[in-house]
Every structure is written in C-alpha cells, then in structure tokens.
Structure 1
Amino acid sequence: MVLLELFSGIGGFSKGLQTAGYSFEKVYFSEIEKHATANFKYNFPYAEHIGSVTEIGTAAIGRPDIITFGSPCQNFSAVGDGSGLQGTASSLVWYAVEAVRRFRPDVFIWENVKGVLFAKHRTDFWSIIQAFADIGGYRLEWQLLNTAWFLPQNRERLYLVGRVADRCAGDVFPLPAAGVGDCPCGKDTVHPRTCGTITRNYYKQPNLGNYLLYPKPEGASGSGQIPRIRMLTEVECERLQGFPDDFTKYGVYGNEVKPISRANRYAMLGNAVSVPVVRAVASRIRENTILNK
C-alpha cells in the first residue's frame, strides 16, 4: 500500500498505522516545520518528503491508498481566536480536501480538536463534510475520541474517516473506550482513568496544564498538594502520546543526524496525534474495509 501523510508532524499516523499491522511500500509526507521533518526522516528513512501541503495539487507522486491529515487546529481551538475556516492556519484543511479529490484514495482520516464540533464552528464543520460528500463515492463517519481511554492524559480529538463506499464491510464508529476486559483489575468494564488499579500511582495537580503528571508521594492519599513539582521528561511525554522512548531524540538535517533540543521535542509531541488512538481507528478500518493488503 501507499500512504500520504499531510501535516505529518513526527509521523503519529504512520506509527499508528504501522502498529495496527499496515505495511506500506511507499510513504509520502508533507511537513514544513524543520525539526518535525528531520525527526520524521530519522524514524522513517524510506519515506519521501514532498514539501508544503500548498503544493499538493502539482506534487508528482503515485496514487496513495490512504491519506491522513491532522490539519492545523489553532483557529478551531478553545484557546484560539475562533476564526475557524476564516483563519490562516485552519483553512489549510482545504488542501487536504483537494488531495482527496485528486487522488481518490481508498481511505482518508482527518484528526482535529474538539472545537471543530462547537456550535460556533458548526457551519465550518458541515462545509468540510459537504466538500468530502461532493467528491462522491465516500462513506463518512466521525467520532470524538479521547486519549484517556488508552493513556493517562485527557486529550479529546475528532476523528473523521472516509472510505470508498463499495469497499465498506462494516462500521468504523462508534469506537468503544479502551479497557474492556483488559484492565488489570480484571473487571469486564470500561476503565479509562477512573480505575484505581490504573491510576493509583499518579494524579494531576489542578490548574497546571495538561502536560504535567506527578508520581503520588509515598503514603499520600487523595488529591492534596505535592511539596515538589517538576515537568515531565521528554521520554515521559513520548509515553503519554504512545511513542517509543527517545522517538523524538534525533533528526536528520541534510545528511547529518543531530540531537533535537528539549524544547522542540516538547513542541513536536504536543502537536502529534496519539499513537494508540490512531491504532484503534486503523484497526477498525482494517476489520471493516476491503483494502489492498
């Protein structure tokens, strides 16, 4: 199969698809941030960088079987300016629509923030849905998923999946929360972050941001104050997003492998999709779609 990952970042979609059992003979990726591009090249040396998404209309590449895109979210985000598709960043999603129209992949996956579903962005969201529907031949499904179903961080994101209609053998969504029958407590129920077996060693300090997670002090109970506060390490952030340890440590700049700074590693991970969420979506697609395997 052939994959085209737009707005690729560090390759969360590529990694998630890979862990779901997908195999690609060719991977194309589009990204303009230099450190993310360097890191993608390091971890996926067989992939071909095709530059900016704004050039997708003329890119000389083969037809992809799957297109993924976690397009910029700033103008949809709850902490953004609320301009939606009128904003410079979030309007870049139209290039992904153009790519789907041009290549007509078997499957495409769009990821974005929860804000896309806010009432003030309803018109924008439906205009994107209409654009995909106008291409014709695709079955569209979407759901709000949370990384907390898989890992100890609250990260709600919209996932929209488009599949060639006559290749659909079942539904992708709704996707159940992770943990059914798999929780260490042994109970056959859904335990995101609420099960004591899972959360007994960690708790969040309130009002300090979603990237801070603290080991519970020995003998502590409840959600009291911690005498000493620290930021998560880069490896801990990688684990919270489902990436292997040191996945963001190096990048290929030109022909030279160089370490990536701590600040840039944090930024790249903050912009990434969560690997276990992609894996779960990709697995459902594979189970319910007739694909070229």
Structure 2
Amino acid sequence: MQRRLITADITLGSLFDGIGVFPLAAQRNGIVPLWASEIERAPIYITKRHFPAMRHLGDITKLHGSEVPPVHIITFGSPCQNFSMIGNRAGLAGAKSSLFYHAIRIIREMRDASGGVFPVIAVWENVMGSLSSNDGLDFNAVLAAFQSAEIPMPASGQWAAAGMVRGGQPDIAWRLMDAQYWASPRLARRQRIFLVADFGGRRAAEILFKPRGMLALSEAGTAGGLPAAEGDRSAFLEAGRRVPIVRPFQMFRMRAAAKHQEHTQFQNSFGFANDPFPTLLASAVNPFAFYYEDDPLGGCVRYPSETESERMMGLPEGWTKLGVDGEEIRPAQRYKALGNAIALPCADYIMAGIRETLEK
C-alpha cells in the first residue's frame, strides 16, 4: 500500500553530487536540496555558490546513514570509470565504481534509523556500459543490492534498455535516456541509465515511464539563462551573432582517409547532418567543425567553449564559471566537471515524476 507524503516539503540528498544537477532539477520542481556529498574541490565551490543553504557532508566513505539528516529522495551517480566503454571495464570490482555500495549502505542505514520511512525514493544514474559490463553481471549486482535479494539474469543474457523488478522492496524501474531527445532545441548526445527505486509503494514505473510536460530551459537575458536560438543547441554561439553549421569532427575518419589518400572521405570527416553528437567526456573534449553555409571554406575545427558545453547539457549559462567566493574555475576543471555531469532535462523529468507521485 502506498504511503501518502504528509510533510510540506519534499527533501533531497545528493551523493556523488558533482556540480549539483540533481539539486538544480529538484529545486526547479519545488523539492528542497538539503545536503550533498562530494570530494572534488571545484564542483563543491560551484554548488556552494548556487545552493548556499545546502550542507556539504564530505567523503561518502566516512558518512553513516543514521547520522545524516533524513530525506525523502537520495540521488547518486556513482563513479562510472569502471563501467564506461572507454574505461577499463572492471565493473563493480573497480576501485571507483565499487563506491556504489557505500551509497547502498547509507540508504539502508537511514531506513533502519528512521523506521523504514526515509528515503522514500532513491535514484541511481550511470553510463550505458553499466548494462553490459562483465556480461551483464554488474547490473545484476546493482539490482540485487537494491533488493537485498537474488535477481535472475534475463533468458537472453542481456539487459534491456528499459525494465522493472517488481514484487519485492523496493519497486524498481530503469530506463536508458539520451539527453539529445529531451529538450528542444536538441542537446548533445548523452546516453545514461537512470534507475528509480521506490521504497514506499509501486510507483517506480509511473515516475520513469509516464509521459509528462517538460520544464522550459531559461531564455537569453535572464539570470543564469540559456541563449535563445533555433536548431541544435550545440551550434549556438553568443546571442545575436550568426549561427554556424556545426558537425562533430570525425578524427578517426579523417586519419583513415589521410592514410589511404581518399579525398572525398577526408572531406566527409568534417561531418554529416546525421552524425550523432558525441557525449561530453570528463577525460577529453571532442572537436567540432564550424562553418557558415555561404562560406564553407571559411570554417574551422575547434573545441566547444565551456559555455557551449554548458548549453549542450541544458545547464544555465555560466553554471560552472565561478566558485562560491567569486573566483573563476579553471577551464580544465569546468570541462571535467561537465563531462562527469548529467543533462538537466533528464533530471528534471525524473524530479517532476517524483514530486507528482509523492504528492498524490
């Protein structure tokens, strides 16, 4: 039986917080971010600037769930380096991805200390590779950790891009979401698994699969706003200037063409309209080809700026520019933080679903 939320404020705690995208989405949906856990200096300074009332609790390995202020929602995007297709694919056995179990421990400790009341909802986010690493056994371990029970592998041996585990506690649903389809104008390609665990009922599927309206991204000129423009958001330069054609620069295509002296293929390395936009990476920045339709020879190949990278994630312009004391965050730190972050519209959709279901 579902338990109705009776408190006036729905609250959130963010583990592995990064630059505070889950707290931002929560705030945009009327949910109060109470605390965060993060160890990287630059992201902490960034989020302290945007959420001065949100407590920072420090290293997750040193936290105990019974001593952390109880919240209705706990979000965590545990480190993905060992799951990623470009990582070492060590999976949950990897030194960084194994930190996942500290989040599970904190959730259990909080529920034990609160008599099974808090948290009501947990949200886990990770890279697409977490579905397939170690032949799917890692995602199986993730589900088993949430359920505290054995979960059978699919008969196919492969996990679907969306699914549910129902019958035990919590109620679980997961979904692969690609950020480029969750906002208009379109964002950068960014495929992430989002898992919702409902400890208070059977609402995970309603939160994660029910169609609902999306919050608009801020327009140009507003505080922390995004520039208004048409087309793909990654193509936008500063408001008021000409909008160039932007294509992901295909470095591997270019190298192969140069090696085999294939002139046409070399030209094609500057990208096609249907080439997928690469995800932003914490370890590297992808170059793009910029040119104007009436002046293709006057174009260039360059990396997106930090501001353009924020726009590709749907974040307010300048979100990562300054720390709490007004000091500028170094470009390398901004790129890394953005590469580790999630896209705002995806987080918005999930937070809207949580608020909607908890307030019924």
Q: Same fold (TM over 0.5)?
A: yes
- Whole-angstrom CA distance in 2 between matches of 1:96 and 1:14: 17
Question: Matches of residues 35-114 of structure 1 in structure 2 within 5 Å?
Answer: 35-57=42-64, 60-104=67-111, 105-114=119-128
Matched residue, 2:231: 198
Q: CA deviation at 1:139?
A: 0.8
* 8 Å CA contact retained: 1:167, 1:291: no
**One-letter amino acid matched to 1:2:** T
- Whole-angstrom CA distance in 2 between matches of 1:154 and 1:67: 26
Correspondent of 2:198 among 150, 158, 163: 163
- Whole-angstrom CA distance in 2 between matches of 1:212 and 1:177: 35
Higher relative contact order (CA 8 A, sep 6+): 1
- Whole-angstrom CA distance in 2 between matches of 1:27 and 1:165: 20
Matched residue, 1:4: 13
* 8 Å CA contact retained: 2:74, 2:121: yes
CA 1:153–1:271: 2 relative to 1, 3 Å: same
* 8 Å CA contact retained: 1:144, 1:159: yes
- Whole-angstrom CA distance in 1 between matches of 2:294 and 2:317: 29
* 8 Å CA contact retained: 2:42, 2:323: yes
CA 1:61–1:169: 2 relative to 1, 3 Å: closer
Matched residue, 1:233: 305
Q: How big is each residue's C-alpha offset from its partner over 1:159-178, in whole Å with a ceiling of 9 and x where there is no partner?
A: 00011243639622336699
Q: Structure 2: state its 5+ residue gaps.
A: 1-9, 112-118, 150-167, 215-229, 233-243, 253-277, 280-285
- Whole-angstrom CA distance in 1 between matches of 2:202 and 2:30: 17
Matched residue, 1:13: 22
Q: Structure 1: state its 5+ residue gaps.
A: 180-196
* 8 Å CA contact retained: 2:291, 2:300: no
User: Matched residue of 1:202: which SS?
Assistant: strand
User: Matched residue of 1:67: which SS?
Assistant: strand
- Whole-angstrom CA distance in 1 between matches of 2:48 and 2:171: 33
Q: How big is each residue's C-alpha offset from its partner over 1:74-129, in whole Å with a ceiling of 9 and x where there is no partner?
A: 00000111111111000000011112212230111100000011153411111111
Matched residue, 2:219: none
- Whole-angstrom CA distance in 2 between matches of 1:165 and 1:264: 39
CA 1:37–1:59: 2 relative to 1, 3 Å: farther
Q: Does 1:290 align with 2:358?
A: yes
**One-letter amino acid matched to 1:61:** V
- Whole-angstrom CA distance in 1 between matches of 2:204 and 2:74: 20
User: Matched residue of 1:102: which SS?
Assistant: helix
C-alpha RMSD of matched pairs (Å): 2.7
Q: CA deviation at 1:134?
A: 1.9
Q: Does 1:142 align with 2:181?
A: no
**One-letter amino acid matched to 1:202:** V
* 8 Å CA contact retained: 1:106, 1:291: no
Matched residue, 2:327: 258
Matched residue, 1:131: 145
* 8 Å CA contact retained: 1:16, 1:275: yes
**One-letter amino acid matched to 1:145:** M
Correspondent of 1:152 among 182, 187, 193: 187
CA 1:49–1:219: 2 relative to 1, 3 Å: same
**One-letter amino acid matched to 2:41:** K
Q: CA deviation at 1:285?
A: 2.6
The TM-score, its normalising length taken from structure 2, stands at 0.67
Q: CA deviation at 1:216?
A: 4.2
**One-letter amino acid matched to 1:206:** Q
- Whole-angstrom CA distance in 1 between matches of 2:200 and 2:95: 32
Greater shift, 108-117 or 128-137, is seen at 128-137
Matched residue, 1:267: 336
Greater shift, 118-127 or 150-159, is seen at 118-127
CA 1:198–1:116: 2 relative to 1, 3 Å: same
* 8 Å CA contact retained: 2:247, 2:290: yes
Q: How big is each residue's C-alpha offset from its partner over 1:55-86, in whole Å with a ceiling of 9 and x where there is no partner?
A: 12267322111100010000000011111111
CA 1:91–1:169: 2 relative to 1, 3 Å: closer
CA 1:169–1:258: 2 relative to 1, 3 Å: closer
